[in-house]
Amino acid sequence: MNLKDVNIIFGFTGAICTFPKIIEKFEEISKEGANLYPIMSYNAYYLSKKNKNEKYIEKIEHICNKKIIHTLDDIEKLFKKQSYDMMVIAPLDSNTLAKISNSISDTSITLAVKLHLKNKKSLVLFIYADDGLSTNACNIGTLLNRKHLYFVPFGQNNPITKPYSLSSNTEYIVKTINSALNNEQIQPIIL
């Protein structure tokens, strides 16, 4: 793995229960020398503050030594500064997944996706969707057919009590990033 000096926008959406494991991988990527630019959806940012989960915000900002960007204006400023090698969204919640699939760019994350993809750069998606095998299945199918999008391998995270829920596996985040840098989808996609 060689991520030294790779510029990566790293987006966090509302599935806060996944943050501890995601932040571990975020730190691992930082230690490999990547330049990380953290962004959060409005809901994830303010939900973290409201629920006293500011430790996540503080830890993310400490790891990359940058403030988390969470407003539309700041996203536009971020993309005016430079082009980025890659964007990662981990976790990608159901709402944001549906918006990206339908080209809606009304949040900080979805606007960042739009601005990033117009440069034909890789976008890595870490799915965490309770409706991944129901109402959001069509959106996943749509995104699987788009250029420059790469999925962290995913599967049912609890088929007995949550049969429609899908989650990517955190152990594959770094491998997927490396593959996406070479314009390759890691296989298998479905675990």
DSSP state of 68: P
Q: How many CB atoms lie within 10 A of CB 12?
A: 31
Retrieve residue 47's tokens: 């939900």
CA 1 to chain centre: 19
pLDDT at 52: 63
Domains in the chain: boundaries: 7-181
13 contacts: CB under 8 Å, gap ≥ 6: 40, 41, 43, 44, 89, 91, 92, 93, 95, 96, 109
Q: In the chain, count of helices (H) and strands (E)?
A: 8, 7
Gap between the Cα atoms of 12 and 122, Å rounded: 17
DSSP state of 16: G
H-state helical runs in the chain: 19-31, 42-50, 54-64, 72-81, 94-101, 108-117, 137-144, 173-181
CATH number, domain 7-181, options 3.40.50.1950, 3.20.20.70, 2.40.340.10, 3.30.300.160? 3.40.50.1950
pLDDT at 96: 96
Gap between the Cα atoms of 77 and 142, Å rounded: 29
pLDDT at 53: 59
pLDDT at 16: 80
pLDDT at 81: 84
Q: How many CB atoms lie within 10 A of CB 24?
A: 12
pLDDT in tens, the chain (191 residues): 689 999 999 999 987 888 999 999 999 999 999 999 999 988 888 877 776 656 888 999 999 999 999 999 999 999 998 889 999 999 999 999 999 999 999 999 999 999 999 999 999 999 999 999 999 999 999 999 999 999 999 999 888 999 999 999 999 999 999 999 999 999 999 99
Residues, the chain: 191
